[in-house]
Structure 1
Amino acid sequence: MTTQTHHVDHELIEAAAHIARTRCRGDQHTMAAAARAQDGRIVTAVNVYHFTGGPCAELTLIGVAATQGIHDLDTIVAVGDRDRGVVPPCGRCRQVLLDYFPAIGVIVGEGDRARTVRITDLLPESYVWADHQIDAE
């Protein structure tokens, strides 16, 4: 696997960290996400924890972005509450991000190890749901 590293958007990390510090309270909201749209706007969201499997912050963010008319995300990052720092997306989020934004960059790692990688590097040899949709047309 050849991982391509891109510029790390520290402003995006700080936006997610700010939301994690100020909006995550208790067990219902424990993760925050921030994404930069291709036009430069930043969108933020928190997870919706529920024992039945509520959506992660990254998935909530996709809905928030859509309600703001943002359909092209360039980079995304998730940050945990209680100063847990950058947290890589779970498997479900990786698959959804790949399907919605196959060229999106994902910030992973902490501090001087932070890097931006393509979603395809986090989910190699994956099933691309969008390809199925094209075949069905």
Structure 2
Amino acid sequence: MTTTTMLDTDRALVQAATAVAKLRCRSDNHSVAAAARTADGRVFTGVNLAHFTGGPCAELVALGAAATQGEAELETIVAVGDRGRGVLPPCGRCRQVLLDYHPGIQVIVGPIDALRKLPVTDLLPDSYVWADQRLDASAIVRTGQWPMPTVPASRAASED
């Protein structure tokens, strides 16, 4: 694992998420707050939307808030639980989304007295890379058909 030294700006990001958790996480609907920072120091926050359909986590809401303001490059993110639960690691879905949208992002994790900052890639080793799996949309438009995978030593169905 590649741990990066926690800076004062990282501690301030934890404090921002903690303040949002204290202010806005007062019901079962909102129990986690997140704060994300850009390289130039802008901070975007969000809270989770607990719902029986699996509503979005606080990290995803913070990503959406940043995107709404035109910010495409986030540097660091942290999530904090309500009722003093401290810093929470992102769930698997959030780890995957963070990797796909912000592959260089650092994630603050750990107990409050031993916080550390890790690249999201360390939290999701041997990950599925969404960009590598996307279809070539222009091929679909050109041919009107989904591209078929090439299988070595295969023969056309008409040969059966």
Matched with 1:6 is 4
Amino acid at match of 1:113: A
Matched, 1:53 2:54: yes
Q: RMSD of the TM alignment (CA)?
A: 1.1
Percent of aligned pairs with the same amino acid:
61
Distance 1:39 1:131, change over 3 A: farther
Name the structure with the higher strand share. 1
Structure 1: tracts of 5 or more residues without a match: none
TM-score, structure 2 length as denominator? Answer: 0.80
Q: Does 1:23 align with 2:21?
A: no
Q: What amino acid does structure 2 have at the position aligned with 1:4? A: T
**Count of residues in correspondence between the two structures:** 134
Cα deviation, 1:57-87, whole Å, max 9, x if unaligned, reads 0011111111111110000000000010000
Q: TM-score, normalised by structure 1?
A: 0.93
Larger Rg: 2
Following the alignment from structure 1 to structure 2, what is the Cα–Cα distance between the partners of residues 107 and 99? 18
Unaligned runs of 5+ in 2: 138-160
Select the structure with the greater relative contact order (CA < 8 A; seq sep ≥ 6).
1
Cα distance in structure 2, aligned partners of 1:70 and 1:103 = 14
Aligned-residue offset at 1:29: 0.4
Secondary structure at 1:131's aligned position in 2? helix
